[in-house]
Amino acid sequence: MDQNHVIAINPGSTSTKVAVYENKRIIFSKNIIHSTDELSNFPSITEQYTYRKELIFNEIRAINLDENSVGAVVGRGGLIRPITSGVYSVNEKMITDLRNNILGEHASNLGGLIAYELARLLPNAKAYIADPIVVDEMQDVARICGHPLFERISIFHALNHKAVGKQYANSLGIEYKKLNLIIAHLGGGITIGAHKKGKVIDVNNGLDGEGPFSPERSGTLPIGALVRLCFSGTYTYKEIKQMIKGKGGYVAHLNTNNGREVENNASKGDKKSILIQKAMGYQIGKYIGSMATVLEGKVDAIILTGGLAHNRDLTNYIKNMVAFIAPVILYPGEDEMYALAMSGQMVLQNKLKPKVY
């Protein structure tokens, strides 16, 4: 039997997605939503591993998939060492780095781990990751900060950035590497990148406190006030890290990480929801403007993608701020599952050779 099935796994900050593809056709898809209350039972993201793994395994068992037909399990890449864009085999070195959180904790770290474990249970499957969040194409000048002890690093939603960039280019009949784009992934985390001729030459580290705030991240904070808070003795290191990532943004202001809930409350006239949603849109628009300067004003399009791009009030607000720069294109949701699956299919069809980590 041909191994023409690919299982795609994408753990995000507030959800775990799993899908099965037969060649290019999706035959199963499930988006498992995790509430703040559910995730609060785990002291760290790493400790969510067994919980999320069992949810995925249960979904796969329930569809009675022929185990012999699965040739690849492709997980979303995590915080491993900086690497070039591409598909990578999950090996022991990668597993060790994912388990040890060498660049920090993130839900995507679980993607390679779960893919590896699931592939071990399937007779013909191998585990891969594709375009992980540490894809690094930044220009050197973008790395430099105002003090040599600090350096900006590339951590962003590389998989979806690349997928929608290529999708938009294909819609025009143009190669992705011939366009200058600003792509904003709007989800549990927000990253905004300057794509110059196929390379992301600058992007905010949305994971670790750069750029706009998001449903659960604080984004860039006033640095003096943050330093004073760190040394106030009121909060522990762990508590401050949670303020920045996990309990910031909507969670801190509105006690929810659910963008749809905030959108609904705003549409019903809740003044605080309206203000906080607008403030997030304001910061997104301002950061898009800064990326236009990185591209020296030569911008072919601005693309808004991710789950929050379904929110028309939010995207219209951003459009009003940035439409003078370039046309604003919406790709609501994300194309990460298809991108993961097609990466696996290209490996199975020998159209792409996986790289070694």
pLDDT at 204 over 90: yes
Given this model, what pLDDT does residue 58 score? 93
Please tell me the pTM assigned to this model: 0.85
Mean pLDDT value of segment 241-250:
94
Given this model, what pLDDT does residue 36 score? 78
pLDDT in tens, 318-334: 999 999 999 999 999 87
The structural domains of the chain, ordered by start, are 5-136+336-348 (3.30.420.40), 158-332 (3.30.420.40)
Tell me the average pLDDT of the chain: 94
Given this model, what pLDDT does residue 206 score? 87
Q: Any idea what the Cα angle at residue 56 is, between residues 50 and 59, rounded to 5°?
A: 140
- Which residue is listed with tokens 């659910």? 258
Strand ranges of the sheet holding 25-33, from the earlier edge strand across to the other edge: 25-33, 15-22, 5-11, 70-76, 126-130, 87-89
- DSSP state at residue 202: E
pLDDT in tens, 261-312: 999 999 999 999 999 999 999 999 999 999 999 999 999 999 999 999 999 9
Nearest to 208 by CA among 80, 99, 104: 104
Mean pLDDT value of segment 25-35:
92
Looking at the chain, the whole-number percentage of residues with pLDDT higher than 90 is: 86
Please name the amino acid found at residue 88.
Y
Q: Which residues pair with 333 in a beta bridge?
A: 306
Mean pLDDT value of segment 242-264:
95
